[in-house]
Amino acid sequence: MSTYKEIKGFKVQTLSTDTVASQIDTGAWASAASMNTARIASTGTGSASSNYIIAGGYYLPPSADRSATEQYNGTAWTEVADCPQDLTYGNGLGSGTSSLLCSYSQPGPVPGGYGPTTATHKWNGSSWSTVNSMNTFRQNAGTAGTTTAGLVFGGSAPSANANTESWDGTNWTETTDLNTAKTDIGGGCGVQTAALSASGSPATTEQWDGTSWTEVTEINTARQNSGKAGLYTSALCISGQNPSTYLANVEAWDGTAWTEVSDVATARGYVGGMSPTGSAGSSDAIIAGGSGSSLSAATEVWTTSSSFTKINLGQVYYNSGSNAFKVTEQAVPTGSWASGNSLNTGRNSGSSAGTTQNTGLAFGGQSSSALTESYNGTSWTEVHDLNTGRNEASKGMGGTQTSALMVGGSPTTVVESWNGTSWTEITEINTGRGNSMIAATSNTSGMIMGGEPPPSFSVDTEVWNGSAWTEVANLNKGRNNGVGTGTVTASIVIGGQIQPPNAAGQEVEQWDGTSWTEIAEVNTATRSAGLSGTTNTDTLVFGSNPGASAKTEYWNGSSWTELADLATGRGGIYGFGSVYGAGAAGGTPPATIASTEEWNATTLNKTITVS
């Protein structure tokens, strides 16, 4: 006989620890034996759990000798054979028993001269030999690979360099450059055919597929001279400087995005620390030496748990360690903005669509632009132009990336429909207007509100059913340059230039399919903002003009809450996505910009309480 539990219940898993996104999230830093000699600008390579070497650098007391080499065996440091030449700011790759030190600066005055060199030295586990030199000098570059298949990219030569060279065990060959020249990378991750270039100056992130570099999501905290560990799909960026402040924070890369993980104990830059061929940067990494408040000999080792449970959105479980029932959820208030890749053409005051962070669409804009760009969560691609270029068209949620509306302009009655491939002119609105608000779910269902026909503060509302526009009940207050979202039976308009007082307003109105009702005001007056979210009970509004505001506010259907600010205040934004993952592109702060910022709500384990 079945029990009630078997019919209606579900099993709750018992776990000793909270769930995490990946093995790397279980990681922690622990102090290890210090080096024999404190130093900065040294070169290191290898694995923390077996063999790691560090060579050269600046150290005290002052000495002409900058070739001292130390080896770490997982427990202690031992001085071993000196490198053939003095070196600082060098580039290392390989393991602790088979590595290369390639291209570096010779501090001076030293025997044999001063300045840059392209020399390459090979370590076999007990001694050094000199092998073929690199083609181009650079220091503080990025590195990846082994002593038979290596890669060096970027660095200072002495200015920012984009050059990439490949090593086949005998010779160096120039190959495809980085997209962005950069200095002070301080190491890299991966192998010769799959590498990661992260941080440096500028702090861009690029992935290498063996043939070309592709720009991907930037690190959350820009930094220089940081340590690196791991592979191009799972890596750590450790410590560093920003630009003169020494950092303790560490970020993990999962192949798509950067996440902050456990900090090191000692903030520092110019570190000699990486594990370029370590196990995905998740279970084995080391940082040694560097400069913070003083030269450091400190060593820290990163380890992770081999046993963990992967986080699963919506999962309910019992944590036996904390004696609590928990649920995994995305918490909008914990979200933050991070840099994404820029529009191909900077602009503002156009229209946008897209219901997720990976499906954005930006079309039209200043100077009567006809440009349309599509966002896949990584980069913007120019697609089919509008038939009629225009700016100051409808603002808010204009549909999806494959089914959207471009309505009106300054002022025009022209409407265009997007099918994912091209734009088609369709039935015009009844009243020409610019800077109206839109709430569309597709190219066959939507509505526009307000705008700027004569007079400048319209109350008109029109609904689209896929074949005709119909005038319905007016807004309570005339406005333009606000934002809207929702459906033809349940939508919302937020802020805009309001009459009176003819300035950015806080007024919000909600549509129930028949009439508009004034509801709770947004905390900060907003105009020409960006918006994400598809319902009238769940939306984000961000930015504003004039004044290039960075404010972000969240509407949960009953109240507004201020959240993390944009990194760059702006108005005239192309907004898209949801309250959990959004995008803000372009705008004016006050010059026109092309940059994109991405909003991500944190996934966390929340204790279930009974009120």
Residue 315 pLDDT greater than 70, yes or no: yes
Residue 147 pLDDT greater than 70, yes or no: yes
- The verdict on 260 and 137 lying in the same domain is yes
pLDDT band at 112 (very low <50, low <70, confident <90, very high): very low
Is residue 323 domain-resident?
no
Which amino acid does the sequence have at 86? D
The pLDDT of residue 581 is 95
Residue 278 pLDDT greater than 50, yes or no: no
Question: Residue 409 belongs to a domain with what CATH number?
Answer: 2.120.10.80
- The verdict on 396 and 281 lying in the same domain is no
Please, what sign has the CA dihedral across residues 20, 22, 25, 29? positive
Contact residues for 305 (Cβ-Cβ < 8 A; gap 6+): 23, 26
Is residue 388 domain-resident?
yes
Look at 277 and 7; give whichever has higher pLDDT: 7
Burial environment of residue 212 by CB neighbours within 10 A (0 to 12, 13 to 18, 19 or more): middle
The pLDDT of residue 572 is 96
Lookup: tokens for 417:
């429909």
Does residue 184 contact residue 204 with C-beta atoms inside 8 Å?
A: no
Percent of the chain clearing pLDDT 70 (strictly above):
93
The pLDDT of residue 41 is 84
Is residue 147 domain-resident?
yes
The pLDDT of residue 449 is 97
Q: Element (H or E) spanning 8, and its range?
A: helix 4-8
Q: Which of 99-103, 343-347, 414-418, 478-482 has the lowest mean pLDDT?
A: 99-103
**Identity of the highest mean pLDDT range in 68-82, 213-227, 241-255, 484-498:** 484-498
Cβ atoms within 10 A of the Cβ of 149, count? Answer: 16
The pLDDT of residue 60 is 67
Residue with tokens 């290890």: 32
Percent of the chain clearing pLDDT 90 (strictly above):
60
The pLDDT of residue 61 is 64
The pLDDT of residue 272 is 62
What residues form DSSP beta bridges with 15?
A: 319
- Report the C-alpha gap between 545 and 496 in whole angstroms: 10
Which amino acid does the sequence have at 502? N
Residue 8 pLDDT greater than 70, yes or no: no
Residue 110 pLDDT greater than 70, yes or no: no
The pLDDT of residue 564 is 96
Is residue 20 domain-resident?
no
- The verdict on 299 and 405 lying in the same domain is no
Look at 436 and 65; give whichever has higher pLDDT: 436
- The verdict on 543 and 407 lying in the same domain is yes
The pLDDT of residue 50 is 65
Is residue 540 domain-resident?
yes
Q: Is 433 left (phi over 0), alpha (psi -120 to 50) or beta?
A: beta
Please give the residue range of the domain that contains residue 248. 28-303
Cβ atoms within 10 A of the Cβ of 242, count? Answer: 17
Give CA angle at 456 (572, 492), nearest 5°.
Answer: 60
pLDDT digits (tens, 9 = 90+) for 222-258: 899 898 888 888 889 999 988 778 999 999 988 888 8
- The verdict on 101 and 209 lying in the same domain is yes
- The verdict on 298 and 410 lying in the same domain is no
CB burial readout 397-425, b (16+ within 10 A) else e: bbbbbbbbbbbbbbbbbbbbbbeeeebee
What residues form DSSP beta bridges with 251?
A: 237, 260
Cβ atoms within 10 A of the Cβ of 238, count? Answer: 33
- Report the C-alpha gap between 408 and 197 in whole angstroms: 44
Look at 6 and 211; give whichever has higher pLDDT: 211
- Report the C-alpha gap between 572 and 298 in whole angstroms: 49
What residues form DSSP beta bridges with 602?
A: 331
- The verdict on 269 and 409 lying in the same domain is no
Is residue 425 domain-resident?
yes
Residue 276 pLDDT greater than 80, yes or no: no
Residue 333 pLDDT greater than 80, yes or no: yes
User: Would you give the DSSP letter of residue 25?
Assistant: G
Cβ atoms within 10 A of the Cβ of 541, count? Answer: 29
Q: Which of 303-317, 497-511, 566-580 has the lowest mean pLDDT?
A: 303-317
- Report the C-alpha gap between 540 and 530 in whole angstroms: 8
Per-residue pLDDT, averaged over 487-492, amounts to 98
What distances in angstroms separate CA 264 from CA 172, 235, 311, one per listed residue?
Answer: 35, 15, 24
Q: Which of 2-11, 168-177, 590-599 has the lowest mean pLDDT?
A: 2-11
Is residue 584 domain-resident?
no
Least Cα distance to 141 among 194, 98, 193, 177 occurs for 177
Which amino acid does the sequence have at 397? M
Is residue 456 domain-resident?
yes
Residue 279 pLDDT greater than 60, yes or no: no
The pLDDT of residue 23 is 79
Beta-strand runs (E) in 368-460: 372-375, 380-382, 395-398, 404-407, 415-418, 423-426, 437-442, 445-449
Per-residue pLDDT, averaged over 176-184, amounts to 94
Q: Which of 111-125, 220-234, 502-516 has the lowest mean pLDDT?
A: 111-125
pLDDT digits (tens, 9 = 90+) for 512-532: 999 999 999 999 999 999 999
Cβ atoms within 10 A of the Cβ of 73, count? Answer: 13
User: Would you give the DSSP letter of residue 395?
Assistant: E
- The verdict on 524 and 428 lying in the same domain is yes
Which of 285, 303, 321 is the endpoint of a domain?
303
The pLDDT of residue 282 is 52
Which of 287, 303, 319 is the endpoint of a domain?
303
- The verdict on 120 and 263 lying in the same domain is yes
> DSSP 3-state assignment of 570?
coil
At residue 601, φ and ψ (nearest 5 deg) are -80, 140
pLDDT digits (tens, 9 = 90+) for 198-210: 999 998 899 999 9
- The verdict on 298 and 426 lying in the same domain is no
Does residue 123 contact residue 72 with C-beta atoms inside 8 Å?
A: no
- The verdict on 90 and 196 lying in the same domain is yes
pLDDT band at 17 (very low <50, low <70, confident <90, very high): confident
> DSSP 3-state assignment of 4?
helix
Contacts 24+ apart (CB under 8 A), 257-260: 257/217, 257/338, 257/600, 258/205, 258/217, 258/218, 258/219, 258/220, 258/338, 259/21, 259/25, 260/220, 260/221
The pLDDT of residue 65 is 61
Q: Which of 13-22, 328-337, 500-509 has the lowest mean pLDDT?
A: 13-22
Please, what sign has the CA dihedral across residues 204, 223, 236, 107? positive
The pLDDT of residue 74 is 86
Per-residue pLDDT, averaged over 467-480, amounts to 97
pLDDT digits (tens, 9 = 90+) for 24-64: 888 889 999 999 988 888 888 877 666 788 888 877 666 55
- Report the C-alpha gap between 62 and 138 in whole angstroms: 25
For residue 42, the number of C-alpha atoms closer than 13 Å in the C-beta half-sphere is 36
The pLDDT of residue 275 is 44
pLDDT digits (tens, 9 = 90+) for 430-470: 999 999 999 999 999 999 999 998 778 999 999 999 999 99
Give CA angle at 444 (442, 450), nearest 5°.
Answer: 80
Which of 288, 303, 318 is the endpoint of a domain?
303
User: Would you give the DSSP letter of residue 23?
Assistant: G
Residue with tokens 């907004």: 575
The pLDDT of residue 49 is 64
Please, what sign has the CA dihedral across residues 523, 524, 527, 533? negative
- Per the structure, how many domains does the chain have? 2
Least Cα distance to 49 among 95, 99, 91 occurs for 95
In what side-by-side order are the strands of the sheet with 246-253? Answer: 258-261, 246-253, 234-241, 227-231, 274-275
The pLDDT of residue 108 is 53
- The verdict on 257 and 405 lying in the same domain is no
Residue 550 pLDDT greater than 70, yes or no: yes
Please, what sign has the CA dihedral across residues 601, 607, 610, 611? negative
Q: Element (H or E) spanning 471, and its range?
A: strand 469-472
The pLDDT of residue 281 is 46
- Report the C-alpha gap between 584 and 576 in whole angstroms: 7
Torsion of CA 363, 365, 367, 372, to 10 degrees: -10
Q: How high is the mean pLDDT of the chain?
A: 89
